[in-house]
Amino acid sequence: MNLLQDLPDNMQDEVFETLIKTKDIRLERIVSKGHVTPEGDWYDQHQHEWVTILSGWARLVFADEEDILLQQGDHLIIPAHRLHRVAETDGSQETVWLALHYTDL
């Protein structure tokens, strides 16, 4: 499988595809195109998340007011329970993310 191929057509919603899942980790491919987290909603995850952008770009905002622009090749670790939301994604092309959710290893 090529992570940049077989992208969904006519995306009304972001697409989350689980690639690997065990009791300790979940690896997923996320495809966005202009999608954002609704205003006022925050992700509050019980696991840590490592995320990287394979194509496109995205801007994340954290409840502590930090704002991070992720572009192709960038990656970031989001500690468990750090409130965050997707404020913006590329609307002209698909943004393809890899997200690894994990407990302390």
Whole-model pTM: value is 0.90
3-state secondary structure 58-95: EEEEECCCCEEEEECCCEEEECCCCCEEEEEECCCCCE
The domains of the chain are located at: 28-102
Give pLDDT, residue 6. Answer: 86
Q: What is the pLDDT of residue 105?
A: 65
Taking residues 23-27, report their average pLDDT: 95
Q: What is the assigned CATH class of domain 28-102?
A: mainly beta
Give dist(CA 84, CA 65) in Å, integer. 9
Q: What is the pLDDT of residues 28-76, one digit of tens each?
A: 999 999 999 999 999 999 999 999 999 999 999 999 989 999 999 999 9
Q: What is the pLDDT of residue 61?
A: 97
Query: Residue 38: its pLDDT value, please?
Result: 94
